[in-house]
Amino acid sequence: MAGNKKRKRREERPTIHPKNKYADNPPDFAFLGSLYPSFQSFIFYSRDGRPRLDWTDFNATRELTRVLLLHDLGLNWWIPDGQLCPTVPNRSNYIHWIEDLLLSDIIPKTILNGDNVRGFDIGTGANCIYPLLGASLKGWNFVGSDVTDVAVEWAERNVTNNSHISEYIEIRKVKSDDTSLLVEDPQNDQSGGPESELGLTNPMIFEGVDTNKTYYGPPILLGVVKDDEKFDFCMCNPPFFDTMEEAGLNPKTSCGGTPQEMVCPGGEKAFICRIIEDSSILKQTFRWYTTMVGRKSNMKSLIAKLREVGVSIVKTTEFVQGQTCRWGIAWSFVPPVKKILSANVVKNGNLSFMLEGIQRQYSAIHVLQSIESFFCISGASCKLNVSSFTVDITASQNHCNAILKMEELQFDKTAGFEHVRDTSISSSCLNIPMKDLCFRISVFQQIPGTLLVKVSQKQGDSQVSGVFSLILQRLEEDLKRKFCKEKV
């Protein structure tokens, strides 16, 4: 029994993105060492004969990054001592997640810049890792911004040292008032007081946010993005910590990092709240706004802030690389596409969808129990009949609301690389029924590894649209994520 539980935990744990080059082929230290003598000097062997690196040695992690970028992507790269050193597999996960967002049909596919995808990297750093990866892996165009002279200088070096992609990347210096860390509005300097880029005399404060953790730093998007610019997305690896002492609490790694890269008064929460506020003014200047989050405990409050500014869609994910976990949030002000289940048959109050590629350890009863759990967690009435493989469900208006918002409230349950699951639907898309929805869900085995899930509404209740279809779309996604093998 214990063995089964352990196996289940392993299967549900999010993993490296399947499109990531290192998903099936992690870096081979011994092989790389044989090709690059400068890297060989950092390798040691454990008792079992496996090649290892000392992750607390900044020089070792920097050399690994340099070698991976050169060997796998043909990129020439370097950063000076003390600058933040990125891990290539982890940063690649973020690029692939953004690709999933851009390829999804959650929001309309619009061509902003011809056929070229254009991204904006907030705080690109001396390493310039996201523009380098995006340009080399996907051919995307980038603007990378930063505030320090060292970061801008080395980011530009890393771009110009790769002439085959240099035309895709622009490095943009962010102007700031170093004495106050407040942004002055040049149109209002007669007031004599510091002003934010928004022309506000006070820092940005959200309801429920600790005023001691409010962002007072240089511009992030407003004041950096030009008036006539449009982007497909922005991305950010924000300063995760409130102080450098907090940043140094992990003794197991050494990835470097300057105070400007690692620290922000108020930590990542204050920094990301500023991005959210900027986005509420820039609106559809970006199709997708995204950021990485270092603390899962911040996710719920950040999603709540997105609700406050009226975003139309929110996405969440988890980035996993080895023992390191980070989270991602994406949001958009573009109205979402209204769609019913893509592969469903809707006729006479009935809907159905297929679950193909069911993993061997699961059967129809597991799927049936998961369906019951999906609705019960919202408080809906469920009656499971194991002998007939059916679940009878009665859901009120409140239950429907709870189901549709469930992924927002429980984003941390297997938030891995389902890639483009909705965590919010525009309220304009929802036609919440005033009366209870009564329906039956049946599970039929078609052939080994394939199940048919059929949904039948109660006779006389023919409302097969709007909220009902959206709920079943969530159910279909949930079941496929839990029980079906991912298609390659």
Give the residue numbers of the binding site.
91, 123, 146, 237
Helices marked H in 74-202? 88-103, 129-133, 149-160
**Nearest of 430, 129, 416 to residue 255 by alpha carbon:** 129
373 contacts 406 by C-beta, under 8 angstroms = no
Sequence-ordered strand ranges (E) for 407-466: 437-447, 450-457
Helices marked H in 283-425? 299-308, 364-376, 397-404, 406-409
d(CA 364, CA 251) in angstroms, rounded, equals 47
Amino acid type, 26: P
* DSSP secondary structure string for all residues of 136-164: III--EEEEEESSHHHHHHHHHHHHT-TT
Tokens 């005033």 appear where? 434
Phi-psi region of 234 (alpha: psi -120 to 50; beta: other; left: phi over 0): beta
**CA-to-CA separations, 8 to 3, 246, 365, 424, in angstroms, rounded:** 9, 34, 16, 28
Identify the helix (H) or strand (E) that includes residue 283: none
**CA-to-CA separations, 73 to 16, 76, 110, 237, 356, in angstroms, rounded:** 19, 9, 29, 21, 36
Which contacts of 363-372 are long-range, i.e. CB under 8 A and separated by 24 or more positions?
364/389, 364/443, 364/444, 364/445, 364/451, 365/389, 366/483, 367/443, 367/451, 367/453, 367/479, 367/483, 368/443, 370/478, 370/479, 370/482, 370/483, 371/441, 371/443, 371/453, 371/475, 371/479
Residues 6 or more apart whose Cβ sits within 8 Å of residue 205: 211, 214
d(CA 111, CA 101) in angstroms, rounded, equals 14
Could you list the residues known to form a binding site for S-adenosyl-L-methionine, using ranges.
Answer: 91, 123, 146, 237
Query: What SS3 class is residue 258?
Result: coil
d(CA 373, CA 4) in angstroms, rounded, equals 20
407 contacts 381 by C-beta, under 8 angstroms = no
265 token code pair: 């008064």
69 token code pair: 């970028």
**Nearest of 90, 152, 69 to residue 319 by alpha carbon:** 90
